[in-house]
């Protein structure tokens, strides 16, 4: 039986593809050694890069997601090691060739202190000249209704006869970040319908801010990259840091 956290993760993140070409490009340019995917979830990117011949370490703080990543990698015989750890304090016991932080995971670490703790942990795993790249959501203000004339379509999947739908319903500003509000709704094979609220807070962070935070920690900022917005997802600015 698939864990609910795994299903909701796949519903809300699994179909995003706009960033894949950037991570593939950075992975192809990295030196020898594994690629560390921080906040890897169930492996949307880790498995994609492994299918292209890269060794990948996928790190996630959610034990169920890390276990599912390990299961999927083993089932597909792909070179992915899943690590259950917090990005703010981890020790892989080895160096990596590249660190990537897709889909705003850097904005889930609890603000400047959490980001600094992560950047220090990551620096211990990077040789001089190796890169760390992290996607940061473009700023969005107001509610979903303020920004669009129509509500965005829900993310939907069907698993074992139950339909899972996640509806974005609002964006609320708080000091230092925004809270994205969703309604998670299920309809089981008997037609029973259940709904519950879900919120995720994204810390405010820009490439310029993260570059300034990273400099005293031994990184040099390169030109930021962009992931374009799609109909369903905001665009991202990708901060690219080189370990000094």
Q: Using CB under 6 A as the criterion, which residues of the chain lie in contact with ligand SAM when the complex forms?
A: 13, 39-41, 44-45, 59-62, 65, 86-88, 102-105, 108-109
What is the smallest separation between the CB atom of 190 and ligand SAM, expressed in angstroms?
31
The closest alpha carbon to 9, from 200, 137, 170, 174, belongs to 200
- Distance (Å) of CA 182 to CA 28, 84, 146, 152, 165: 36, 26, 15, 11, 10
Nearer to ligand SAM, 30 or 109 (CB): 109
Q: What whole-number distance in Å separates Cα of residue 47 and Cα of residue 56? A: 8
What is the smallest separation between the CB atom of 94 and ligand SAM, expressed in angstroms?
18
What is the smallest separation between the CB atom of 63 and ligand SAM, expressed in angstroms?
9
Q: What share of the chain is helix, strand, coil (3-state, %, to 5)?
A: 30, 35, 35
Nearer to ligand SAM, 62 or 237 (CB): 62
Taking CB atoms, the residue at the shortest distance from ligand SAM is: 39
Nearer to ligand SAM, 87 or 126 (CB): 87
**Contact (CB, 8 A) for 37 and 46:** yes
DSSP 103: T
What is the smallest separation between the CB atom of 237 and ligand SAM, expressed in angstroms?
16
Nearer to ligand SAM, 76 or 244 (CB): 76
């Amino acid at each position: 039986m698939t864990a609910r956290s795994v299903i909701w993760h796949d519903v809300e993140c699994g179909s995003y593809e706009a960033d894949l070409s950037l991570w593939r490009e950075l992975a192809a340019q990295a030196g020898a050694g594994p690629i560390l995917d921080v906040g890897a979830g169930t492996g949307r990117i880790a498995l994609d890069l492994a299918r292209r011949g890269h060794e990948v370490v996928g790190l996630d703080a959610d034990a169920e997601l890390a276990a599912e990543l390990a299961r999927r990698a083993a089932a597909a015989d792909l070179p992915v090691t899943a690590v259950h750890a917090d990005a703010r304090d981890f020790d892989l016991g080895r160096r990596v060739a590249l660190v990537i932080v897709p889909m705003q995971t850097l904005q889930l670490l609890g603000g400047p202190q959490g980001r600094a703790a992560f950047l220090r942990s990551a620096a211990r795993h990077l040789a001089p000249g190796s890169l760390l790249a992290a996607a940061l959501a473009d700023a969005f203000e107001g509610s979903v209704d303020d920004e669009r004339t129509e509500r965005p379509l829900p993310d939907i999947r069907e698993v074992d006869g139950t339909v899972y739908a996640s509806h974005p319903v609002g964006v609320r500003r708080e000091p230092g970040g925004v809270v994205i509000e969703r309604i998670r709704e299920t309809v089981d094979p008997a037609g029973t319908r259940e709904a519950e609220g879900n919120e995720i807070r994204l810390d405010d962070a820009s490439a310029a801010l993260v570059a300034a935070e990273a400099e005293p920690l031994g990184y040099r900022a390169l030109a930021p990259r962009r992931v374009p917005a799609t109909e369903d997802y905001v665009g991202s600015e990708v901060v690219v840091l080189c370990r000094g």
